[in-house]
Amino acid sequence: MSVALRDVPAPEPAEGFALLDVAFSGLCGTDLHICAGEHSRAQPGIVIGHELVGTLAAPAGGLAAGQAVFANPMMHCGTCDACTRGLVHVCERLRSVGIDRPGAACARVLVPAGGLYALPDGAALADAALVEPLAVCVRAVRRSALEVGERVHVVGGGPIGCILALLAADAGASEVSLSEPSATRRALAGGLGIATVHPERPEPVWDVVFDATGVPAVAASLGRWARVGGRVVVVGAYPPAPVPVDLLRVMFAELSLVGTRIYTRDDIAAAIGIVASGRLGLSRLVSEVVPLVEGVRAIETLRAGTALKLLLRP
């Protein structure tokens, strides 16, 4: 699948949706999979962009036009077993703006009206563009049951991996390290103050191990990073096929293997608070803010692995 800049019709108001004037749209690994034709749901011609922040073009959700908002791109069905139990973030038919509906790599987009979060006055919208990936990490750290003083290792040095490392340190981990085969990404992580270790020399000394890769070749080695009684948290999305896992290590060392998927309302609220506080310095993750007209170049840059996080600006 190729990537191109195209004119598309401006979205019209629709019931259940709000019109958002996009300020920034973040690009991530999911967008690369979509652009490569590797996503199981995204269809050719879709406008990408599910990390979105902007201002309301019209009143919606009890908020006035012009209000700066983060928009949750996810849409749940409301009728599956997960939804009826209140677990809407793991809806069996979960859909997303930028994957199943036109996304935010544009000037104006329709977003679910029930997923609007007013941003604090004076919030930097470029920083708020990182709320979505940060919320993913907030959820993962909560799922890990990380305790103050525990040691944490992160496998994978992309934006999610780096945010996980920063967030774990902020949550009280006594030591945090990261492994990543790319020298460029190791250097980027090091620039954030994250200690990096050799990716092919696992040491089973870590209480909590976060897998931020989604790379099948990594799965079998995850248990070798965790100490006896440790927890392995799968954060990166794997392809929809079985992958090898060392279940004997899971059994013998009594490891806990934990899954985590996107975020809840509480996770989003926490992420907005963290961004507003500025205490993680997340703006350091943004390698470049790219004008929308150079979006194709942005995808090529991200695919080349020479940048950490790129934001598109209409």
State the catalytic residues: 30, 33
Helices (H) and strands (E) in the chain, counts: 10, 15
Assign 3-state DSSP to the chain and report helix, strand, coil percentages, each to 5. 30, 25, 45
- Displacement of CA 54 from its chain's centroid (Å): 18
Question: How would you classify the pairing of strands 151-155 and 175-179?
Answer: parallel
At CB < 8 A and 24+ separation, what contacts does 290-299 make?
292/5, 292/105, 292/106, 292/107, 293/5, 295/3, 295/5, 295/105, 296/3, 296/4, 296/5, 298/27, 299/3, 299/27, 299/31, 299/32, 299/35
CA pair distance 247, 219, nearest whole angstrom? 11
The closest alpha carbon to 96, from 143, 134, 54, 132, belongs to: 132
Cα–Cα distance between 314 and 306 in angstroms, integer? 22
CA dist., res. 291 & res. 130, Å (int): 17
Contact predicate 65/59, CB 8 Å: yes
| Cα–Cα distances in angstroms (integers) from residue 76 to residues 42, 114, 314, in the given order | 17, 11, 28
152: helix, strand or coil: strand
